[in-house]
A and B are shown apart, each in its own frame.
Chain A
Amino acid sequence: MRLFPSLAASAAPAVGPLPADPLGSPMWTYHAGKLFAGAPVVFDPAVRVDLPMLAENQHVLPVTIDARALSAVRRMVLFADLNPIPIAVEYEPLAAHAYLATRIKLDQRTPVRGAVLTADGVWHVAGGWVDAAGGGCSAPPVSRVRGDWADHLGELRGAAWPQGDATRVRIAIRHPMDTGLVENIPAYNIEEVTFAAEDGTPLARMTVHGSVSEDPVFTVLLSPAGRGPVAVNARDTGGVVVTGAVAPRSGAALAAAVRR
């Protein structure tokens, strides 16, 4: 006979215990609960999160997540625990290496992390604290202050470089990336970027949030190295779609031009 049948009946569902956060973040449990929804989580040095030695500009913190040491990566999430918009990018490296570099805004000192989902359903997490002055998300973008953001909206630049068995593609999109946290400026940001082969096959895809820096820049490693141009498609929250194509030899041309 059970002494406490009610207790036994109400036992919590089988959720894997969340590992203690090596960074001691006050928001770890909250974000992990939402992001991972009970899936197994490991802190894993196989995920490299490269951060600069100092955040010189809280509006533009460069971050690289390199999870190429893991196999069968399905998703990569870049987030900063204490940002008002914690998630910056959710990346699906469809036919790409598990590598993403971009820049984010910071609103205060915060952990910055990469969370990488592998095909076995395990999230692999790494990151570090970054000390930053306040206001990265709550100060107006430079182009709003200058007043010329609309003149350059959606200008797309980029180039491609061969890198071993991959093609490194870097693109830059002119966009104010308004967070919605600045008085009288509603949220307005790039929300999706897709890289595709000439025949339209998607190679990599990402969802982008307002905590990515103004005039966002993304670096991806597409695989296998394609011979044709890579189609880039970016859509913002206002429905503006920007498209372009990165020529496979554009990086080499750039390097030659600078050397000259």
Chain B
Amino acid sequence: MIARRGFLVGALALPFAQGFAARAEQFAGRYAPEATPIGDGIWMVRGADEALGFANGGAIANSVIMASDAGAILVDSGPSLRFGEALGRLALRLTGKPVRRVYITHLHPDHSFGSGAFPEAEVVSLPGTHRELERDGAGFSTAMYRMLSGWMAGTELVLPQGTVNDGEAQFGGRALRLLALGGHSEADLAILDSASGTLIAGDLVFHDRAPATPHARPAEWLAALDRLGAIGHRQLVPGHGPLDTGGTAIAQTRSWLTWLGAALDEAVAGGLDMTEAASLPIPSHLAGMAAARYELTRSVSHFYPGLEAALFPRIDA
């Protein structure tokens, strides 16, 4: 999916490959996102089911491209300017029209940092996402450049220009139902494409890939899953992981979050420290999700100090 210049150079310079590779500078590669048709005029662009890192150029989130009379519709612009540009070329090739509308499902930079590639399009999000990006965007940018270096070339934070709210929407004759939810972050946008019966869930739903919780509000997230489950759909595009055609991804995400909450409560109450909690066994029905240990370790970091403060009794006189 991603052509890496480092690989090519290493292969061509075989006589020196070993010594060269040991000291080789890491160069960013070229993004080559691929689209899979999942219905009439709708394509899914799969991210790698991995931790965000240099090896994948940050391309870990799923995006969706839809055709409309007014131009292509893109859901989530990816991690960087170059990835956004590659998505734009892909959309033009698939739909015959340039991207004219970009929906950003939530603030996280693997979904929102490619927006600079779409100066001709209207980039929109929920009002909460706009606020969160204003607050955290600069910090994300620093972290993304540190991890992805060359992949980020030219990327600047582009805030959504418009806001959308819960309700029915039309773009270029394509009927969409917008759902203003929250829980994975302060504001999570999910979109139902009526024509194909596709529920584009953003990071409210992870599928065969462990959920990430840096801004999570677990109770609200579970309520959002209930609402998504009640909305009739034929298939679901999760924020991370493969297309869900069997109707299992919502339940799987709920199962992970429910286990995680109980496990961390019990860990704090049982006297474990953070490193011990991050080493807890992951139940077999969840352990197979990609990045499971990685996300548990992150979640311990996100929730543990708060849980200790809430659960430990005061002992000062």
Q: Pick the contact of A53 from B142, B278, B309, B315 — CB < 8 Å?
A: B278
Query: Bound state CA distance, A237 and B211, in angstroms?
Result: 41
Whether, in the assembled complex, A170 has its beta carbon less than 8 Å from a beta carbon of chain B, the answer is yes
* Contact indicator A62/B315 (Cβ below 8 Å): no
Whether the pair B302, A254 counts as a contact (CB closer than 8 A) is: no
Q: Does B314 contact A (CB under 8 A)?
A: yes
Q: 1/0 contact trace for B277-317 toward A, CB 8 Å?
A: 01000000000000001100110111001001101111111
Give B79-136 interface residues, CB cut-off 8 Å to A.
none
Tell me, yes or no, whether A77 is within 8 Å of chain B by CB: no
Contacts of B317 in A (CB 8 A): 243-245
Asked whether, in the complex, the Cβ of B312 is within 8 Å of the Cβ of A159, the reply is yes
Known: A156-B314, A255-B266. A168 touches B271 (CB 8 A): yes
Residue contact B274 to A246, C-beta cutoff 8 Å:
no
Chain B's closest residue to A55 (CB) is B301
Asked whether, in the complex, the Cβ of A171 is within 8 Å of the Cβ of B315, the reply is yes
Structural contact, B271 and A170, CB atoms closer than 8 A: yes
B312 touches A158 (CB 8 A): yes
Q: Please give, as numbers and ranges, the residues of chain B lying within 8 Å of A52 by CB-CB distance.
A: 274-275, 278, 297, 300-301
Given contact pairs A62-B273, A64-B275, A103-B274, A170 touches B312 in the complex (Cβ within 8 A): yes
Bound form: Cα–Cα A246–B273 in Å = 17
> Is A60 in contact with chain B by the CB < 8 A criterion?
yes
B143 within 8 A of A: yes
Q: Is the CB of A155 within 8 A of B275?
A: no
The reply on A70 being an interface residue by CB < 8 A is no
Task: Tell me the bound Cα distance from A258 to B300 in angstroms.
Answer: 17
> How far is B311's CA from A62's CA once the two chains are assembled, in angstroms?
19
What DSSP secondary structure best describes chain A's contact surface?
strand
Interface: A101 (CB within 8 A): yes
A157 in contact (CB, < 8 A): yes
B315 pairs with A232, CB closer than 8 A: yes
Chain A residues with Cβ under 8 A from B309's Cβ? Answer: 157, 172, 215
> CB within 8 A of A258: which of B143, B146, B265, B314?
B265
CB-CB nearest in chain B for A169:
B271
CA distance A258 to B294 in the complex (A): 25
Q: What mask results when residues 39 to 83 of chain A are scored 1 for a CB within 8 Å of chain B, else 0? A: 000000000001111101100101110000000000000000000
User: How many of chain B's residues have a CB under 8 angstroms from any CB in A?
Assistant: 33
B19 at the interface (CB under 8 A from A): no
Docked pose: A172 CA to B316 CA in angstroms: 11
Provide the bound-state CA to CA distance between A159 and B270, in Å: 10
Q: Let me know if A217 is at the binding interface, CB within 8 A.
A: yes
Q: Which of B146, B270, B271, B311 has the most CB of A within 10 A?
A: B271
Which of B142, B268, B276, B297 is in CB contact (< 8 Å) with A54? Answer: B297
Complex formed: what's the CA distance from A247 to B311 in Å? 15
Q: Assess whether B265 is in contact with A170, with CB atoms less than 8 Å apart.
A: no
B195 sits at the interface (CB 8 A): no
Query: Which residues from chain B contact A114 at a C-beta distance below 8 Å?
Result: none
Q: Which of B214, B268, B302, B312 has the most CB of A within 10 A?
A: B312
Q: How large is the interface on A (under 10, 10 to 19, 20 to 34, 35 or more residues)?
A: 35 or more
Query: Given A56-B301, A255-B266, are A101 and B312 neighbors across the interface (CB < 8 Å)?
Result: no
Cross-chain contact A243 with B316 (CB below 8 angstroms) = yes
Contacts of B143 in A (CB 8 A): 133
Residues from chain A with a CB closer than 8 A to the CB of B294 are: 53-54
Q: Which residues of B contact A232 (CB under 8 A)?
A: 315
Q: Is the CB of B273 within 8 A of A156?
A: no
Provide the residues of chain B in CB contact with A217, threshold 8 Å: 273, 305, 308
Inside 8 A of B302's CB, which chain A residues have their CB?
56
CB contacts under 8 Å to B, within A214-260, are 215, 217, 219, 232, 242-247, 250-251, 254-255, 257-259
Nearest to A102 among chain B residues (CB) is B273
Cβ–Cβ contact A215 & B269, under 8 A: no
Q: A51-B275, A64-B273 are in contact. Are A155 and B316 (CB under 8 A)?
A: yes
The smallest beta-carbon distance between B188 and chain A, in angstroms, is 21
Over the window 123-159 of chain B, the binary record of Cβ atoms lying under 8 Å from chain A Cβ atoms (1 yes, 0 no) is 0000000000000000000110010000000000000
When distances are taken between beta carbons in the complex, the residues of chain A under 8 Å from B308 are 157, 170, 172, 217
B313 CB, nearest partner CB in chain A, Å: 6
- Asked whether, in the complex, the Cβ of B316 is within 8 Å of the Cβ of A154, the reply is yes
Cα–Cα distance between A250 and B270 once the two chains are bound (Å): 11
- Which residues of B30-84 have CB atoms within 8 Å of chain A's CB atoms? 51
Asked if A161 CB lies within 8 Å of chain B CBs, one says yes
Note all chain B residues with C-beta closer than 8 A to A158.
Answer: 312-313, 315
Complex: how many Å from CA A16 to CA B138?
49
Residues on B with beta carbons closer than 8 Å to the beta carbon of A60: 274, 301, 305
Chain B residues, Cβ within 8 Å of A255: 266, 269-270
| Besides the known contacts A62-B300, A244-B315, 18 further A-B residue pairs in the complex with CB atoms under 8 A apart | A52-B275, A52-B278, A53-B278, A53-B294, A56-B298, A62-B275, A103-B274, A133-B146, A154-B316, A156-B315, A157-B309, A158-B313, A159-B271, A172-B308, A242-B316, A244-B316, A246-B315, A257-B311
- Enumerate chain A interface residues (CB-CB to B < 8 A): 50-54, 56-57, 60, 62-64, 101, 103, 133-134, 154-161, 163, 168, 170-172, 215, 217, 219, 232, 242-247, 250-251, 254-255, 257-259
Jot down 6 A-B pairs with beta carbons below 8 A, ordered by A.
A54-B297, A156-B316, A163-B271, A254-B311, A255-B270, A257-B311
